[in-house]
Structures are given as C-alpha cells and as structure tokens.
Amino acid sequence: MRTDEAYLYDMLNAARDALAFVQGMTFEQFQASLLHQMAVLKAIEIIGEAASRLSPAFQEANPHIPWRDIIGMRHRLVHGYFEVDYRRVWDTLQRDVPQLIVHLEALLQKEQPG
C-alpha cells in the first residue's frame, strides 16, 4: 500500500514535469502543439489521480489545497477529452501549478523526519 507521502511526490514530480514541458512556450505555441498538449494533459491527470488517492484525513488536515478542484480537473480531462479547453489548461499551468508546487514542497518538508 502506498503512503500519502508517495502520492505527494507523484503530484510534485508531475507538476514539475508539466511546467517543464511548456517552458519558454507561448499559449499560441502550446495550442499548436499536440505533443505538448498531450504531455501536459497526462501530467495533470497524474496530479489529479494521485490527489484522489490521498487519505481523506490527509486532505482534511490540509484544506489550503483545493483537492476537489484538482481531482475535478483530472475527471474533466479524462472523461471530457473531446472538449478540452486548452486556454483553461494553460491558465492552470501558469497560475495554479506553480502555487501547487510550493504547497507540495512545504508538505513534503513537514513529512521528513528531523
């Protein structure tokens, strides 16, 4: 059985990957690149899936992170793959993912013994 800490690392790695995939790109370049879109969507799916596997107690203990929104975005991308709003994905990458990385790094710092 995997731990909450393992899922947090999955989320952090996928969030970092998502940003790395579009580093130096404009929205127009992202919108024109199926390769980058698919890479980012997969990373966001991983973030949402890992978030959904965190224990309810952990999620409740950390209400400053919008778990439902994170999980909801994953569901929209997986189940509504035929109508993805790439502007919304881009805005999430630019606004929310960097903030999520900061929160995840802080949580993982707390989880470390010492």
Instruction: Give the 3-state secondary structure of residue 3.
Output: coil
Considering the candidates 2, 74, 87, 103, report the single residue annotated as catalytic.
74
Q: Please say if 74 is a catalytic residue.
A: yes
Other CB atoms within 10 Å distance of the CB of residue 42: 15
Per residue in 27-36, pLDDT (tens digit) is: 999 999 999 9
CB 73 within 8 A of CB 85: no
Of the CA atoms within 13 Å of residue 112, those in its CB half-sphere come to 8
pLDDT digits (tens, 9 = 90+) for 67-109: 999 999 999 899 988 899 999 999 999 999 999 999 999 999 9
Respond yes or no: is residue 68 known to be catalytic: no
Longest dimension (CA), the chain: 47
Length of the chain in terms of residues written: 114
Q: Catalytic residue among 53, 79, 87, 103, which?
A: 79
CA distance 92 to 114: 34
- Tell which residue, 59, 63, 69, 66, has the closest CA to residue 4: 59
